[in-house]
Amino acid sequence: MPKKPPNEAARLREVYALGELGTRPEDRFDRVTRLAQRLFGVPIAAVTVIDEDSVWFISRQGLDLEMTPRRFSFCNETILGHTSLHVVDATHDLRFSYGPMVKGEPHVRFYAGHPVRGPLGTNLGTLCIMSDEPRELSASEGDSLRDLAEIIEQEIASHHLESMDIVTGLSNRHGFELLVTKALAASRRRNMPATLLYIGLGDLDSTGGAPDSQYEDETLREFARLLEHEFRESDIVARLGMNEFAVLLGDADNSEIAAQRLLTTIQRRNEASQDAPELRAYVGASFFDPRSEDTFDALLNRADVAMNDLRYSN
């Protein structure tokens, strides 16, 4: 098994949230890999994204491979830290000497890579350069590699805004659908059920009169933080609409228990915040059977219906 960073669950969630990075080539990164290839005088330059099992080359120069397994991969080792990884000769490094890219085509000897972080701070993959000849990397070259990696990060951050709710910082509906679709596919592979909670907040008006947008935004942000605190790092939390939120629990967590636990947390918040207007929430739940053909829309619709039935409310 490949080594994995301690924040692997959050890292994968961010990888899948940026779903358009996916497993297909990204032309917008090609100018950076072409520049890296020329700047360092190497035959290979690439941008990688690392999912659960594989390293995907989403921009590549001088390389025919689309992906390689995480095990024995240079890039997987790179994302374990926050600085560049430099390998002078991979055949003399036990971490990589048995890897498919070393033993076979393109017979990599030299590798240098820098982590590429997502907007939430996890290492999504790398910007890397490779050669079939051993070589050193100077300090100034290392600085240049880091600078190019930061350009890739800026490109990714601009994409991230399309999948993020600006008020709360959670995934929006588009981002949530990308994440959940990936998560359901993983649940099917592992034969693991999942639970989706659909959560509606009651009236956010603090005065009973005209809506106060500043108060509403503050309350939405407070509720988003409550959800993030209540659920685990591996759960997927999103704001779907005006007062609507959703959470995908990535295991067999009982839906009734999860809903009641959330409502209890909200009630405790209300009791502890006597000067603030109460939060009222309505929760619907739907169960995902990994043997079913359920889609994202089907799962969400069932939870929405359950929420409107007001089966769980505080």
pLDDT digits 0-9 by tens, 229-276: 888 777 889 999 989 999 998 765 567 788 888 889 999 988 887 777
- Residue 31: count other Cβ atoms within 10 Å of its Cβ: 12
Going from the N-terminus, what domains does the chain have, and what CATH number goes with each? 8-162 (3.30.450.40), 173-313 (3.30.70.270)
Both tokens of 304, joined, read 């929405």
Q: Three-state SS for 132?
A: coil
Confidence of residue 207 (pLDDT cuts 50, 70, 90): very low
CB 91, CB 3: distance < 8 Å? no
Question: Using CA atoms, how far apart are residues 175 and 220, in angstroms rounded to an integer?
Answer: 18
pLDDT digits (tens, 9 = 90+) for 106-115: 999 999 999 9
Q: Dihedrals φ, ψ of 64, to 5°?
A: -90, -20
Position 26 scores a pLDDT of 66
Amino acid 45 reads A
pLDDT in tens, 3-61: 899 999 888 888 877 765 555 566 779 999 999 999 999 999 999 999 988 999 999 99
How far apart CA 56 and CA 16 sit, in angstroms, is 13
3-class DSSP state of 48: strand
Tell me the C-alpha distance between 3 and 81, whole Å: 12
More confident residue, 36 or 174: 36
Q: Is the pLDDT of residue 209 over 50?
A: no
Dihedral sign of CA atoms 35, 36, 39, 43 in order:
negative
Alpha helices in 18-106, H assignment, sequence order: 30-40, 74-78, 100-103
Cα(222)–Cα(94) distance, integer angstroms: 49
Residue 192's nearest CA partner among 57, 292, 309, 307 is 292
Q: Between the CA of residue 197 and those of 49, 218, 254, 255, what are the distances in Å?
A: 30, 22, 11, 8
Mean pLDDT of the chain: 87
Bigger pLDDT: 182 vs 153? 153
Cα separation, 125 vs 114, whole angstroms: 8
